[in-house]
């Protein structure tokens, strides 16, 4: 087997372990697919700050140049407009694979989760890079186990309106494990639970972004169904910390990365009212098909093996995204589109 001298960073140039004192670890070369999106762009900020060279691969399907524009001109940063459904040749040490149409209004009829993941795994195999898949709590479907542990296999409708996303991510996990077992690719799998924060898409229909935008625009908060369904909301900086620990750690996973604080949608609406506008009205709408009734991560595995747990509660995190939304909704939009 041929080796990849760049793979381990600085240490690999010092096989005898004689790293000169005072020298820091050599920066890694890292691909972040979907790096112009909400989570990806926050991850890119952390990697760049750590001293790594980052290549963002994004087709701007739901991501925006504005999310990463502050790195333009930095020699450690590159942005490639590319659809991961097409093959891609790069030489890198690590791949964070986030590219995915991530919201119900976007994810139908899209091959990214399967073909895009296959291409990124092919790339990882060719250059000997470590590959991290951002999977989702949706692999548990409408769960019959609560809270969900990583050992739970899930309750997913294979032919429903959400299947393209759920089953797409389940297939992505399968491909990832097959490349791990069959081709010896170093892989990591994160199952991400609902995450919110600055730079979230404003109009992609997710509940936190909907409620925050509605409250700011003085529109009623749209609660689907009876509002008693639950979700557990994680602030984006906690997720990014978890993803980096997972990538750097020794464990394949899968790992649940989420905040165990569980809220009904009516409770979420109340927190949004408290944070933005106590007079905001609530309007009930019919719920979507196959909507999971409850969801809450069991994070014991991540706590034990990654030494990770979320630090930002919903009441602390929500105000942190409000000013970003305010500026994007009401601020002057001088920046051009994509
Ligand atoms: P996002 O939509 O903001 O980011 C996804 C990015 O991928 C966007 O920049 C988009 O343009 C890009 N993309 C989509 N299809 C692509 C393609 N074919 N080629 C290249 N780029 C493409 O969503 P996000 O919330 O930042 O999600 C990031 C990842 O985390 C996704 O894989 C998502 O499934 C996963 N995840 C997110 C959450 C959450 O609550 N935010 C929950 C579970 C899982
Ligand atoms: N691939 C890629 N970049 C690479 C190597 C592979 O995009 O650097 C793509 C390749 O085009 C293929 C997929 O990844 O569609 C899987 O590659 P692999 O080598 O595992 O499969 P094979 O080509 O042998 O079927
Ligand atoms: N939801 C809601 N009002 C909205 C958008 C969503 O009540 O304006 C509900 C939705 O029915 C679901 C929950 O909020 O029960 C979370 O939806 P989201 O799409 O944010 O995440 P996911 O269903 O993927 O967990």
ipTM of the complex: 0.97
160 confidence band (pLDDT: 50, 70, 90): confident
Query: Is 165 designated active site?
Result: yes
Give 237 or 3, the one with higher predicted confidence.
237
Write down the catalytic residue from 96, 165, 196, 235: 165
Average pLDDT of the chain to the nearest whole number: 90
Best residue among 108, 148, 208, 231 to mutate for probing ligand 3, ranked by most atoms within 8 Å of CB: 231
pLDDT tens, position by position, 61-93: 999 999 999 999 999 999 999 999 999 999 999
State whether residue 255 is helix, strand or coil. Answer: strand
Residue for token pair 């935008």? 213
11 confidence band (pLDDT: 50, 70, 90): very low
Q: How far apart are CA 131 and CA 168, in angstroms?
A: 17
Q: Any idea what DSSP says for residue 214?
A: H
Does 101 score more than 90 pLDDT?
Answer: no
Which tokens go with 224?
A: 């689907």
CB 175 within 8 A of CB 125: no
Q: How far apart are CA 181 and CA 183, in angstroms?
A: 6
CA of 24 to the centre of ligand 1 (A): 32
Q: Tell which atom from ligand 1 comes closest to the C-alpha of 234.
A: 40
Residue for token pair 């479907």? 141
Q: How far apart are CA 154 and CA 142, in angstroms?
A: 7
Q: Which ligand is nearest to the CA of 266?
A: 3
> Could you tell me if the CB of 222 is within 6 A of ligand 3?
yes
Out of 89-103, 124-138, 323-337, least confident range: 323-337
Cross-strand partners of 57: 33, 80
Q: Which ligand is nearest to the CA of 107?
A: 1
Does 223 score more than 80 pLDDT?
Answer: yes
Residues in CB range of 156: below 8 A, 6 or more apart = 138, 139, 140, 141, 142, 163, 166, 167, 170
Which tokens go with 14?
A: 């010092």
Q: How far apart are CA 324 and CA 263, in angstroms?
A: 23
Percent of the chain clearing pLDDT 70 (strictly above): 88
- Per-residue model confidence (pLDDT) at position 290: 80
> Could you tell me if the CB of 224 is within 6 A of ligand 3?
yes
- Per-residue model confidence (pLDDT) at position 318: 96
> Could you tell me if the CB of 324 is within 6 A of ligand 1?
no
Does 6 score more than 60 pLDDT?
Answer: no
Out of 24-33, 124-133, 164-173, 180-189, least confident range: 24-33
CA of 194 to the centre of ligand 2 (A): 31
Q: Which ligand is nearest to the CA of 135?
A: 1
Nearest CA to ligand 2 atom 15: 119
CA of 154 to the centre of ligand 2 (A): 30
How many CB atoms are located within 10 Å of the residue 282 CB?
17
Q: What is the mean pLDDT of residues 263-275?
A: 97
């Amino acid at each position: 087997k041929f080796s990849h001298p760049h793979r381990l960073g600085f240490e690999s140039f010092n096989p005898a372990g004689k790293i000169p004192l005072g020298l820091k670890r050599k920066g890694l070369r890292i691909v972040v697919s979907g790096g112009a999106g909400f989570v990806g762009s926050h991850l890119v900020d952390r990697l760049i700050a750590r001293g790594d060279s980052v290549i963002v691969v994004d087709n701007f399907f739901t991501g925006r140049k504005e999310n990463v524009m502050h790195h333009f001109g930095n020699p450690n940063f590159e942005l490639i407009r590319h659809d991961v459904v097409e093959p891609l040749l790069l030489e890198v040490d690590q791949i964070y694979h986030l590219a995915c149409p991530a919201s119900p209004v976007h994810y139908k009829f899209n091959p990214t989760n399967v073909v895009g993941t296959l291409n990124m795994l092919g790339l990882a195999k060719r250059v000997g890079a470590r590959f991290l898949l951002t999977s989702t709590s949706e692999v548990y479907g409408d769960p019959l186990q609560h809270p969900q542990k990583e050992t739970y296999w899930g309750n997913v409708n294979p032919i429903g309106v959400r299947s393209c996303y759920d089953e797409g991510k389940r297939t992505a996990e399968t491909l990832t494990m097959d490349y791990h077992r069959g081709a010896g690719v170093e892989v990591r799998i994160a199952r991400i639970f609902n995450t919110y924060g600055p730079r979230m898409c404003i109009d992609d229909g997710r509940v936190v972004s909907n409620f925050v935008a509605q409250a700011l625009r003085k529109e009623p908060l749209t609660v689907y169904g009876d509002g008693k369904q639950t979700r557990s909301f994680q602030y984006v900086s906690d997720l990014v910390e978890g993803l980096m620990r997972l990538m750097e750690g020794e464990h394949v996973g899968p790992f649940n990365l989420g905040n165990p604080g569980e809220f009904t949608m009516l409770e979420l609406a109340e927190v949004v009212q408290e944070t933005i506008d106590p007079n905001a009205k609530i309007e009930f709408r019919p719920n979507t098909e196959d909507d999971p009734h409850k969801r809450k991560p069991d994070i014991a595995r991540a706590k034990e093996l990654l030494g990770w747990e979320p630090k930002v509660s919903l009441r602390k995190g929500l105000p942190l995204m409000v000013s970003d939304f305010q500026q994007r909704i009401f601020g002057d939009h001088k920046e051009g589109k994509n």
